[in-house]
Structures are given as C-alpha cells and as structure tokens.
Amino acid sequence: MMLNLREYHRPADLEEAVRLLRRREPRTVPLAGGTVLVPSQRRDVEAVVDLADLGLAYVRLEEEQLRIGATTTLQQLAETPLLGDPPAGRAFLRLLAETAHATAPSTLRTAATVGGVLAAPQASTPLIVALLALDARLTLWAPRPRQTSLESFLAYRERLLADGALITEVNLPLPAPDDPPARTAWAWVGRTPHDRPIVCAAVWLVRASDTVQAVRLALGGVADHPIRLPALERELQGAPLDVAALTLDIPDPPADFLGSAEYRRAMALQLARRALARAWEG
C-alpha cells in the first residue's frame, strides 16, 4: 500500500484524468494494474487516478495500424487471436503475443497493463524491446493528445511523466498489403527458463532475395532502458546477411548481480545474431 495516500479518483473521461495528473499538489500518479505502484510503498504519492473507466483496454487491427489501449493487460495481449493467429500478411504480430507472455509471470499478467509496463520499464522488458523493433509510437495526453515515437518516450520518460503525461495508446504501423512480408524473431537469456531476461534482442526484417531490404534491431539489458541500433540497421540494409561478421558497439552496459558489463556485451552480440538468423530464415 501507499503509506501517505489521501485521495482516490476514478474519472470517466481523459480530460479529467489528465487535469488531475497535472496538478503540482498533491503528488498524483495514475493507477492501472497496480503491479508496480502498490508494492512500491511510495511515500511521495498522495493521490491516485484510477484509469479503469477510461475505456483504454482494447486491441484493434485497422487497415494501416494496430492500436493497443494502455490498460490492456499483458494476458489480454498474449491471448488475443489478432496476435496469436494474425491474418495473412501480419504474421510478424505474433512477436507481441510472445513477448507479452514473457514479460511477467502468470500471477501478474492478468493485472499488469501495457501502459504500466511502458511507464515503469525495466532495462530488459521483452515487450518493450519488441515494440521498439516494430517501430511503435505512443499516444500521450499532456494535456491534449499527441504522438511520439517509443524511442523518444523512453529517452525522456521521467520528464514527460513528471509533467502529467498519460499514455493512452500504442500505435504500430502496418505495411501495405502489397509490401513484401516482414519477419520477426526474438532471443533472450536469463538465469532460468522462467526468469526474466538479463539480455534480450528483437528483430523486424524484410528479406529481398539474398539481401536485407529493411531491418530494425532492438536490445534490452544493455542500457538503462531498451534501445534501437540505427547505425547497425543502416549497415545491414541492402546487403546480404552475414551474422558471423556482425559486431555491436555497446560502450557502457550496466553491471549488477545478474551480469557484468562484459557478460551483457557478449550476450547482446550472440542474441542479436540469433534473432537476425531466425528472422532471416523466416
């Protein structure tokens, strides 16, 4: 529980939710699944805004984009047929179902939300790594709706959330029906098969004969938040894929009880190679 909680709000519209969150006093934060906030016992939180009545739990496949509401739970994301058994030409969306399942244990997936995972990211969160590889954008209300890339949000997350920005939706661009099919893959390493990843990699790739037509590569566990590798993506594009020759420039990985900087750097290279090879073979 939050030890200094004085106010509980459950607004029915986004404008009211954002107005409450943008107050300087009392210290106010959003409440969705509560899997991070409630156990934290934060003493600075004096008010919460419950997002349950805002209608933000959905997964919608449209012609040009996939839309995921911020209060969609990880379990809903893992189980929706739109991702687990996607329509023709959208097989790459299975990556979201797989990584949503891997992001939290079953005891938390039914409560943990997509927005909550994004608002309190760990360095190696599989779902965020996958969303980066899929070039996700976020819809933020602060105080009116606007879109930003997930990459930009992760870089400025603390400032945006401190100003009362509320994540309302994840938006994934979809290729046109006549575009070449995209392939995805991911790879990870943890202490046990059921533990959270120490390092993980996700790849989105379009293959044209024997060359890489387009590629996006994201890594988790090698910085304070998941990252893309745009320089490497540019290097791979337009050339045959040679995973054995692949090198990574990761200057300063974190080090903790889960793994040294050297270990994380070495595993990032191996996992990037593995994910690229899997995506290449389709």
- Mean pLDDT score of the chain, rounded to an integer? 92
* pLDDT number for residue 178: 85
What's the pLDDT at 99?
Answer: 97
Res 38: pLDDT: 66
pLDDT at 86: 87
Given a cut of 70, whether residue 222 has pLDDT beyond it is yes
Give me the sign of the Cα torsion angle 101, 121, 201, 141: positive
Look at residue 39 in the predicted model and tell me its pLDDT: 63
Are the beta carbons of 26 and 6 closer than 8 angstroms?
Answer: yes
Cα separation, 47 vs 24, whole angstroms: 11
- Give the tokens for residue 183: 């392939």
143 prior amide bond cis, ω within 30: yes
**What is the pLDDT at residue 68?**
98
Would you state the pLDDT for residue 2? 66
The torsion angles phi and psi of 249, rounded to 5 degrees, stand at -110, 95
- pLDDT the model gives residue 65: 93
Q: What is the pLDDT of residue 43?
A: 75
pLDDT in tens, 33-45: 776 766 666 777 8
CA atoms within 13 A on the CB side of 257: 0
Tens-place pLDDT, residues 123-151: 899 999 999 999 999 999 988 899 999 99
* Average pLDDT for 6-12: 92
pTM for the whole thing? 0.94
What pLDDT does 1 receive? 60
